[in-house]
Amino acid sequence: MSDADAAFEVVAEGLWRSFSKGGRTIDVLRGIDLRLDPGEQVSVMGRSGAGKSTLLHLLGALDRPSAGSLRLGGRELSSLGDRELSALRCRHVGMVFQFHHLLPEFTAVENVIMPAVVAGETFEDARERALRVLGEMELDHRIDHRPGELSGGEQQRVAIARAVISKPNLLLADEPTGNVDDRIAYRLVRLFEELHRSGTAVVVATHNDALVRRFSHPVLTLTDGILYPSIAPVDNGGCLGVDIGATNRPGQIKAEAAGGPVVRRKLG
């Protein structure tokens, strides 16, 4: 990992995202504060429609906040134009969407290769890594099939392979196990854990309690547009200790896993 990658922090301060509908203003996110250092991983829980996807779209520079500040790798996104944001996403961000967004005219392996080639990697090197990742997703027999010839779960696995092939600084996964069975879900958990141990910051948005219980990192809950700390299991069967300052109020979260690092975040 380069020095620039090692310094790739995600810092959100006071993020709001509002939409106008029928003459009314709907505040989907209200003053989100979140900081992720390189290699940190966090899950965001919340019911369907709580704003999890909206938050990921902001963190991935696919949308702009209505108010607040967002810095990726030290760069304030509000100061960047569309072309600069596109370059930043290509170089630093991997995203797993709920609805895959695979290119229908390309095969599975071509869809996976594309981000790496666009980022400047040779076709041969990108293909070699794509085949390896698709093999881990148990799709080595489907590499030459187009999305329309794949099941929903297979398309989801191709989308995940596409998101991780370039080893991004920030991986954002929106309901990544929605269309896969338990065996593949376990493989995905291992893949995400390996990525964050190698220095990738990982944010997983889900309403799947079973998925969250597989992870060994802090869990946040998005309710009424505000992030709150939750309790998450750790590998030794214990729990993360959480101090939020005042019951049922957002504040400072301090979570310490046995033998692991101390993680501190200010939540809005």
pLDDT along the chain (268 residues), means of 10: 65 94 90 92 87 93 94 93 90 84 92 87 90 89 93 88 89 82 78 85 84 76 87 39 32 32 37
Q: How many domains does the chain have?
A: 1
Asked whether 78 and 72 are in contact (CB, 8 A), the reply is no
| Residue 5 confidence (pLDDT) | 54
| Residue 233 confidence (pLDDT) | 40
CA distances from 225 to 166, 250, 267 (A): 32, 12, 12
Q: Is the dihedral of CA 196, 200, 201, 202 positive or negative?
A: negative
User: Read out DSSP for 189-203?
Assistant: HHHHHHHHHTT-EEE
| Residue 216 confidence (pLDDT) | 66
CATH label of the domain that carries residue 57: 3.40.50.300
| Residue 255 confidence (pLDDT) | 33
| Residue 95 confidence (pLDDT) | 87
| Residue 268 confidence (pLDDT) | 36
| Residue 195 confidence (pLDDT) | 85
SS3 content of the chain, % helix, strand, coil (to 5): 35, 30, 40
- Report d(CA 19, CA 1) in Å as an integer: 39
Domain with 108, as residue range(s), is 3-266
| Residue 265 confidence (pLDDT) | 41
Q: CA nearest 231: which of 89, 66, 45, 2?
A: 45
